Chain A
Amino acid sequence: MRRRATISPDTTNRTAAETGLDRARKRLKPPPVPTDDRARSRLVLDTMILHLHPARIPQRTLKWTYTWGLGGLAALLVTMLVTTGVLLLTNYTPTAPDAYLSILALRSNVWFGDLLRNVHHWSANLLIVVAVLHLLRVFFTGAYRPPREVNWIFGIVMLLLILGANFTGYLLPWDQLAFWAITVGTSLISYVPFIGGWLGSLLLGGPEVSGATLLNFYALHISFVPLSLFVLMALHFWRVRKDGGLTLPRAAGEAPVEKPRRVTTIPYLIRRETVWALSWIAIILTFSVFVSAPLEGIADPNLSPNPAKAPWYFMGLQELLLHFHPFVAAIVIPSLALAGIISLPFLDHLTDHEGIWFRSGRGRSLAMLAAGCSLALSSAWIVADDLFLDWAAWLGNWPTIISNGFIPLAIAVMVLALLDLWVDKGLDGTLEERVLFLFTFLAVSLVVLTIVGIFFRGPGMELMWPWSIASGH
């Protein structure tokens, strides 16, 4: 294996006279010993690369519009986060209220301190976007089906860890933004049945967000979360190789490719990866020079800002909380969603359309249809619920967990079931297409909820136009 890799295809001169025996003999010969320093360092570098990558890969998988380079970008971002994170540690004090002062000092007194903080901040936020896009790519190309279901599950755990890393990191600057986002976020835990209160105070190290919470989060942020992430990343990459590399992209209607043409990893893959990584490093650095990570006033437990918003990646959840009882919004719906995502490869496990975007031409139209329906229905429902749906008042003598929780949830589930019935019977959809439709519908709903939460919620969480929020301040 190693030998093949160090020789690129143009240097293997296979003449017609060469017999099978000659080729076997050639293969058994040890690799040529490099004679100068440059060749020696090349060999070391190449063998290092080949610990991660196979020597040769199917040429098709290099197709840019198949992977969009998302997995590699996520790995780059984690590397950048670790590098900048370790550097930030040298200037950070994990105690309240000194944490805030140490960030202020980092920004004003330390050479490139602000830049480093910005790079860490923006890479962390970008990582969430990239990981979610990566998940979507894998879903829409059907690349999660057996034997890749293991990596699908590893991926979901990594996504949760990334959210955990961001959430625990969010508290560290100890400003108003951090304090209240974490207060609201951790209060959700109190709605876990039976053990919620205990679990919450264990995580917070007391009854409210305090210095103890900061230390707990700090410990999680710099040890448990990154370590678990490394282990999972190693497993993830190992599984990609064990599953025989990536799924092979093909056009709709094209038959599965039996013997794909292969090219050597060095230079074909490595060259692309290097260009991609360097471009993103340049983009993130430039962005961080011009746009600073937010930092508000020091945390004040007696004063909640208005509006007190969750971190943007939990805005979808926050929006749900405005419409459902917290137990349903924060516990039931996320658990159902997680269970649904995990069970996807077991529901939809036929590999027929693997490697084809949206499964087929018809699948593409169905996905567009689902996105359109979701856009219309979710935004209509948000507005209706804000303006005139008032379950709690209509069903006044029921506990709010039923009137404002399970009843609207049941209605939402019914709407989904009707849509599914329509795709199944009306449009004569296969199981694969029904899964595609529902997943697309729910994914777009999450995007709608998130966008409404970020841009359309002003003081008092009132629904309003982004421009009137901007002018109100």
Chain B
Amino acid sequence: MNEQPIDITHSDEPAVDRRSFLKIAGIAVGALTVAELGGIGLAYLHPRTAEGDFGSVITAGAVDDFPPGSVTHVTNGRFYLTRFDDGGFLALHQRCTHLGCTVPWDQATEQFVCPCHNSQFDDAGSVLNPPAPRPLDRFAVTIDAGMVLIDTSSAIARDDFDGSQVVYA
């Protein structure tokens, strides 16, 4: 800048002169445009609601369809329904918490054994063998008029298995 700037502001004028007002306004409008377009883009790309069965509330069956001490694969809901010996229910997401493979239930050893990197889980989804970093996620179970309902809209991550996760008829 020059040594002697030409003073175009007068003392009684507001602190923001015309030039810097336009500059600030320009930046603000530009930022707004970017934010708007970015927001629209992200909203547009936001996950479509899962079509089909998975993602909704699924009726697994009547309470008595599941004998105590059993694990049942409900494939359209992507979960296993465990019924413990004491009659309590727990719905486990079939997706391995390590890297997402589907864990098959092995009735002989009573374990879930992941084919991808060999993680093992028990019938409550607790980790018996890493690399899985946490137990299998669960879905909320409700029992209504003798029917077992599983809400698959969101998988619930947990650090440990505890009794409060089990639902009784």
- Using a CB–CB cutoff of 8 Å, the interface residues on chain A facing chain B are 180, 183-184, 186-188, 201-202, 204-208, 210-212, 301-308, 321-322, 325-326, 392, 400-401, 404, 459-462
Contact = CB atoms under 8 A, between A and B. Distances in A.
Contact of A204 (B47, B101, B118): B47
B133 A187 contact: no
B116 A207 contact: no
Contact of B101 (A180, A201, A326, A401): A180
A302 B75 contact: yes
A208 B130 CA distance: 22
Contact of A183 (B51, B100, B114): B100
B141 to A, nearest CB: 18
A327 to B, nearest CB: 9
B101 A304 contact: yes
Interface of B: 42, 45-51, 54-55, 73, 75, 78, 94-95, 98-104, 113-118, 130-131, 133, 155
Q: Tell me whether chain A's interface is mostly helix, strand or loop, or mixed.
A: helix
Contact of A461 (B46, B49, B50, B116): B116
30 contacts: A180-B116, A183-B100, A183-B101, A184-B101, A202-B46, A205-B45, A205-B48, A206-B47, A206-B49, A207-B55, A208-B54, A208-B78, A302-B75, A302-B94, A304-B102, A304-B115, A304-B116, A306-B116, A307-B116, A308-B116, A322-B117, A322-B131, A326-B133, A392-B130, A400-B131, A404-B131, A460-B113, A460-B118, A461-B116, A461-B118
B47 A205 contact: yes
A201 B42 CA distance: 12
A253 to B, nearest CB: 50
A405 to B, nearest CB: 10
B78 A301 contact: yes
Given A184-B116, A207-B155, A326 B98 contact: yes
Given A183-B100, A207-B47, A301-B102, A325 B131 contact: yes
B2 to A, nearest CB: 37
Nearest to A305: B115
A49 to B, nearest CB: 41
A180 B131 CA distance: 18
A303 B102 contact: yes
Given A304-B101, A321-B117, A212 B47 contact: yes
B100 A326 contact: no
Contacts of A401: 133
A302 B98 CA distance: 16
Nearest to B42: A202
A180 B95 CA distance: 12
Which of the listed residues A204, A304, A322, A392 has the most CB atoms from chain B within 10 Å of its own CB? A304
A160 to B, nearest CB: 21
A460 B115 contact: yes
A449 to B, nearest CB: 15
Contacts of B104: 303-304
Contact of A206 (B48, B114, B116, B118): B48
A461 B101 contact: no
Contacts of B117: 321-322, 461
A201 B47 contact: yes
Contacts of B131: 321-322, 325-326, 400, 404
B102 A211 contact: no
Contact of B99 (A184, A306, A392): A184
A400 B135 CA distance: 13
A356 B155 CA distance: 57
Contact of B115 (A207, A307, A392): A307
Nearest to A390: B130
